Amino acid sequence: MTKKPPLGSGERFKRLTEQLKRKGVKDPEALAAWIGRRKYGKSFDELARKGRKKKK
């Protein structure tokens, strides 16, 4: 089993999005965000905020 990338790097989100695309999901980013919020709760919103700032 490979080591997971650190939480907050965005790599986990990217990998999940790619997996969902391969399965034929219409909007993989939205589904990945929903899964993340369900798994990590409020801390996911904080991670998403940091990711948006990093992207600019």
pLDDT in tens, 12-21: 889 999 999 9
pLDDT at 56: 53
How many residues does this entry show for the chain? 56
Phi, psi of 28 (to 5 degrees): -65, -30
Total number of domains in the chain: 1
pTM for the whole structure: 0.73
Is residue 5 assigned to a domain?
Answer: no
- The answer to whether position 44 is within a domain reads yes
Question: For residue 27, is it within any domain?
Answer: yes
Distance from C-alpha of 39 to C-alpha of 6, rounded to nearest angstrom: 16
Q: What is the pLDDT of residue 20?
A: 96
Full residue range of the structural domain in which residue 31 is found? 11-55
Establish if 6 belongs to a structural domain.
Answer: no
The secondary structure of residue 24, as a DSSP letter, is T
- Tens of pLDDT, residue by residue over 13-53, are 899 999 999 999 999 999 998 998 898 888 887 877 777 66
Q: Is residue 41 part of a domain?
A: yes
Q: Decide which of 56 and 36 is more confident.
A: 36
Task: For residue 1, tell me if it sits in a domain.
Answer: no
